[in-house]
Structure 1
Amino acid sequence: MKLIPKLKQSPLQQKLLWVAKPDKYMDLAFKQAPDMFIADVAGADTYVYVNHPEAMRQIITSDRQKFFASGKDNQLLKPLVGENSVFLIEGDPHKKRRKLLLPPFHGERMQVYSQLICDLTRNIIGNLTPNQSFEARQISQKVSLQVILEAVFGLQDSNRAQELKQRITKLTNIFESSLASALLFFPWVQKDLGAWSPWGNFLRQQQAIDAAIYQELAFRRTQDISDRQDILSLMMSARDETGGALSDSELRDELMTLMLAGHETTASAIAWSLYWVHRYPQIKAKLEAEIASLDSAPDPMEIAKLPFLDAVCKETLRIYPIGMLTFPRVVQEPMELMGYKLEVGQILLGCIYLLHQREDVYPEPTKFKPERFLEREFSAYEFFPFGGGKRRCIGEALAQLEMKLVLATIISQFELELVSQKPETPTRRGVTLAPKTGVRMIFKGKK
């Protein structure tokens, strides 16, 4: 068996490049080790980044006796979502929590969310004035956050909803640059030196959100919530086999998880889609024609089924996936993976970014070509934007629906243009990849 390759760069060089420019780090690593490599980004050489489709398949489909999905190795996220988050819990508790959270993100609830998404997009974009410049990501964040507040909290345009929106936006914007994101990767800088300090600001924003959440929990406990279908009410009503309910701290952590993971990632994906469509007029024209082929007032769920719209959104998620890595899996026994020797305790992470950049899977991978998704169907281990297996993204269906409907609503009803034709580049935003400038655009008016 072969030993897994190590990179030539020192651990410090790797860590700094991984935090500051993750796409450059992964591109550099791929040139040295095309299928998998030891990523010395955490002060120890136990992390293995994997990007070969067959290796991904084996990792995701193997039982937990070989690879254990470890929440303990997601501690980077603990300051954001708390120790009770579905991201950090393991084994049977994770299985039960996932079963609880999944239903509201599927089935008939999608029909309700679909009209909400179209209406919110129309109202928010429609409030812009002709020739006004704006950041696409800020606009998409407004839409996405409101969808999450209504789906998760069951809050509409109330004072409590407005308070949460403002606080969550401030919290997530703290990590809008690679430099600020370093707070998550270097624990020694996580010092509360007052409200003016980066970590002190983060803690105070988080405390304000916690106060709003606990206030909502207290209010909700005084109400009859038996008929409510929002995720918070469902979680509050749920009971385990012993009759126990989730504690306030457990509810808080899951709410933070759903809010941060549910709106941050989708907002960036929508901004990227607007960039690519407006960068290539022929793609925009084809998309407009496809949407126009429907009735004058199509059902949103019919829009979501359009094949070219689906291909555009998939290509957007392929070329710069918002989530760069899969959930960590810990090797449980000495074994072989594609001829490479794995040791007990090594932590494997599927590198989604590099998987999506493989030329043997995606010819001309750096080019934006939606038609590739019309010409062939990629396996679940070649196209991987939402992860896979038991740790696959819970909100995948809602995220895809939202992405399609926001893009389709804007393309069919409004005229926008990019401020500059200079290529947009990815940058780290917390633990995700986002467009560096936020995608600067100009509102030209309604169609």
Structure 2
Amino acid sequence: MKLPPGPKTPFWLLILQFEADPFGYMDSIYKRYGDIVTLMFGSTPIVYVSSPLGIKEIFTNTKEIAARGELNQDFALMTGNQGVLQLDGLIHKNRRKLLMQGFHGARMQACARRICELTEKIMSKQVVGKPFVAYPIIEDITLRVGIEVVMGLREGERYEKIKYLFASALRIGQSLIDKILGEWDLGRWSPQRYRLHLRQELFQLLSAEIEERRKQADSSRTDMLSDLIFACDETGETLSDEEVRDLVLSPIFAAGDASGTAISWALYWIHSIRDVRLRLLDELDSLGENPDPMSIVGLPYLNAVCNEALRIYPTQLFAFPRLVESTVEVMGYEFNPGTILTGNIYSIHQRQDLYPEPKEFKPERFLEKQFSPYEFLPFGGGSRVCIGGTFALFEMKLVLATILANYQLELVSKRPERPKFGGLICYPASGVKMVMHGRRQHQEQSQPLVVGSV
């Protein structure tokens, strides 16, 4: 087997170089090796593909190439062994279908109003003229939304504890020093020990909630947790408490982490480029007073702005890995069983032939061209495409619209925001520092985008 070319640097050093400057590193690798590159992890070749054609070959070939859950075991510490990322075959397909039910139809219409309400409630607490860091505030909004949509919880001691534990779990291990210390046994000071503590506390709270729900047997509830409690698996049996617990973890983590990051990056870009901000505000204002949230979701330029934010700094840098199980040809190379194939989402989004001037933030490119799911794939693709991807974009539009329509914000610094890699996602390094100057002037003649108490 002749593998595609790639650097001979030891894998551990490649990881350090990548985490120090993830986008610069990937840009240099792409410039040198092109659409397909091999990195060796011991004796296992990991092949990264940055070609839409190659991605299509990987995602559509489910006979020789498998999206094995065992490849995602690194996430099992916090998402459980029976989470959707760790499952395979018919079981995986069944659980995905069960989870997807919560992201469609009338539920989303009801959820739309709630997203706007929560955003308004939290943003209204910011002090006029006092700088704040946007990312943790946005993360608080998206995490609250995730817990409400997935678990149906809005308030109470258990709700607050669950929210705190999820937020803590998202932050632990993001820094390089956490990753280095994680390899050492430092007792209670070890990030790994703390992560295990968070896991135990979180699992206990979720298990208690599931046990109570089963006793209540309230079939009128419309949250994802209730769906799973009353659902049957592929054999017609009800899911165990452990299965239900593990299945709700990933959607909540995704809601708080990926959605919060994408919205924060969008706020940065919108307030960095005046023309983008003014055009977006004109579009929002065209809906008139107190618009229906579902009409906001359909705005074309808002959609383009969100897509461009997801393109330039995708919340998921790589598609979930695939395993070659039978000898297969991809992009002219023949790969033997045991080879791992991974779609490089970031590098595809940086291709000059698809996205001219890829470093520039240009939302209009999404108004001028329809991109295929192998050219624009911020949430991955194939059988492992993110379950909550559509909802994440839905939430992103509503949170941004609520903030922009109601508040005058400005970036504190004119210096470019730098990405910081943590786990699977690249966060804004400074968290996007902003200052609020008050409500938008036009709001004096009209109602806020969202009215009513929360």
TM-score (norm 2): 0.93
Q: Does the 8 Å contact 2:83/2:246 carry over to 1? A: yes
Q: Does the 8 Å contact 2:91/2:234 carry over to 1? A: no
**C-alpha distance after superposition, 1:405-444 (max 9, x if no partner):** 1111111100111110110111112221111111111121
The aligned counterpart of 2:321 is 328
Gaps of 5+ in 1: none
Q: Is 1:352 aligned to 2:345, yes or no?
A: yes
Instruction: Using the TM superposition, give the Cα deviation of residue 20 of structure 1 relative to its aligned residue in structure 2, in angstroms.
Output: 4.1
The aligned counterpart of 1:216 is 209
The aligned counterpart of 1:165 is 163
Q: Does the 8 Å contact 2:115/2:145 carry over to 1? A: yes
Instruction: Using the TM superposition, give the Cα deviation of residue 197 of structure 1 relative to its aligned residue in structure 2, in angstroms.
Output: 2.2
- Larger CA deviation: 48-57 vs 215-224: 215-224
Instruction: Using the TM superposition, give the Cα deviation of residue 313 of structure 1 relative to its aligned residue in structure 2, in angstroms.
Output: 0.2
| Match 2:138 to one of 116, 132, 140 | 140
Q: Does the 8 Å contact 1:4/1:341 carry over to 2? A: no
Q: Does the 8 Å contact 2:44/2:340 carry over to 1? A: no
Partner secondary structure for residue 433 of structure 1: strand
Q: Does the 8 Å contact 1:181/1:430 carry over to 2? A: no
The aligned counterpart of 1:43 is 42
CA distance in 2, matches of 1:10, 1:199: 24
Q: Is 1:56 aligned to 2:49, yes or no?
A: no
Q: Is 1:424 aligned to 2:423, yes or no?
A: no
Q: Does the 8 Å contact 1:7/1:39 carry over to 2? A: yes
Q: Is 1:306 aligned to 2:267, yes or no?
A: no
CA distance in 2, matches of 1:446, 1:143: 19
**C-alpha distance after superposition, 1:382-425 (max 9, x if no partner):** 00001111211111121001101111111110011111011011
Structure 1 letter corresponding to 2:187: G
Partner secondary structure for residue 427 of structure 1: strand
Structure 2 letter corresponding to 1:31: K
Instruction: Using the TM superposition, give the Cα deviation of residue 276 of structure 1 relative to its aligned residue in structure 2, in angstroms.
Output: 0.2
Runs of 4+ that moved beyond 4 A: none
Instruction: Using the TM superposition, give the Cα deviation of residue 99 of structure 1 relative to its aligned residue in structure 2, in angstroms.
Output: 1.1
Counting aligned pairs with the same residue, the percent is: 42
| Match 1:248 to one of 241, 263, 288 | 241
Partner secondary structure for residue 172 of structure 1: helix
CA distance in 1, matches of 2:211, 2:278: 51
Q: How does 1:67-146 map to 2 (within 5 A)?
A: 67-146=65-144
- Larger CA deviation: 432-441 vs 334-343: 334-343
Structure 2 letter corresponding to 1:55: G
CA distance in 2, matches of 1:330, 1:305: 38
Instruction: Using the TM superposition, give the Cα deviation of residue 24 of structure 1 relative to its aligned residue in structure 2, in angstroms.
Output: 3.1
Instruction: Using the TM superposition, give the Cα deviation of residue 286 of structure 1 relative to its aligned residue in structure 2, in angstroms.
Output: 0.5
CA distance in 2, matches of 1:28, 1:220: 52
CA distance in 2, matches of 1:383, 1:319: 11
Partner secondary structure for residue 189 of structure 2: coil
Q: How does 1:197-208 map to 2 (within 5 A)?
A: 197-208=190-201
| Match 2:311 to one of 305, 314, 318 | 318
Distance 1:241 1:352, change over 3 A: closer
CA distance in 1, matches of 2:76, 2:56: 28
Q: Does the 8 Å contact 1:19/1:181 carry over to 2? A: no
Instruction: Using the TM superposition, give the Cα deviation of residue 360 of structure 1 relative to its aligned residue in structure 2, in angstroms.
Output: 1.2
Instruction: Using the TM superposition, give the Cα deviation of residue 182 of structure 1 relative to its aligned residue in structure 2, in angstroms.
Output: 5.3
The aligned counterpart of 1:195 is 188
Partner secondary structure for residue 216 of structure 2: coil
**C-alpha distance after superposition, 1:22-46 (max 9, x if no partner):** 3233222112211011123x43442
CA distance in 1, matches of 2:245, 2:379: 24
Distance 1:3 1:432, change over 3 A: same
Distance 1:321 1:100, change over 3 A: same
The aligned counterpart of 2:225 is 232
- Larger CA deviation: 278-287 vs 194-203: 194-203
Distance 1:182 1:239, change over 3 A: farther
Instruction: Using the TM superposition, give the Cα deviation of residue 19 of structure 1 relative to its aligned residue in structure 2, in angstroms.
Output: 4.0
Q: Does the 8 Å contact 2:354/2:375 carry over to 1? A: yes
Q: How does 1:274-423 map to 2 (within 5 A)?
A: 274-423=267-416
CA distance in 1, matches of 2:108, 2:398: 12
Instruction: Using the TM superposition, give the Cα deviation of residue 351 of structure 1 relative to its aligned residue in structure 2, in angstroms.
Output: 0.5
CA distance in 2, matches of 1:118, 1:335: 48
CA distance in 2, matches of 1:132, 1:278: 17
Partner secondary structure for residue 435 of structure 2: strand
CA distance in 2, matches of 1:218, 1:335: 47
**C-alpha distance after superposition, 1:77-132 (max 9, x if no partner):** 12121211110111111011111111111122110111011111111001111112
CA distance in 2, matches of 1:178, 1:241: 42
Structure 2 letter corresponding to 1:43: G
Partner secondary structure for residue 361 of structure 2: coil
TM-score (norm 1): 0.95
Q: Does the 8 Å contact 2:417/2:430 carry over to 1? A: yes
Provide the aligned C-alpha RMSD in A.
Answer: 1.6
The aligned counterpart of 2:10 is 10
Instruction: Using the TM superposition, give the Cα deviation of residue 327 of structure 1 relative to its aligned residue in structure 2, in angstroms.
Output: 1.5
**C-alpha distance after superposition, 1:216-258 (max 9, x if no partner):** 1122122122111111111011123544222222222112212
Q: Does the 8 Å contact 2:44/2:338 carry over to 1? A: no
CA distance in 2, matches of 1:197, 1:336: 44
The aligned counterpart of 1:441 is 434
Partner secondary structure for residue 221 of structure 1: helix
Gaps of 5+ in 2: 441-454
Structure 2 letter corresponding to 1:307: P
Partner secondary structure for residue 304 of structure 2: helix
- Larger CA deviation: 146-155 vs 43-52: 43-52
Q: Does the 8 Å contact 1:106/1:397 carry over to 2? A: no
CA distance in 1, matches of 2:155, 2:434: 27
Structure 1 letter corresponding to 2:127: T
Distance 1:419 1:43, change over 3 A: farther
Structure 2 letter corresponding to 1:165: K
The aligned counterpart of 1:265 is 258
Q: Does the 8 Å contact 1:38/1:46 carry over to 2? A: yes
Instruction: Using the TM superposition, give the Cα deviation of residue 262 of structure 1 relative to its aligned residue in structure 2, in angstroms.
Output: 2.3
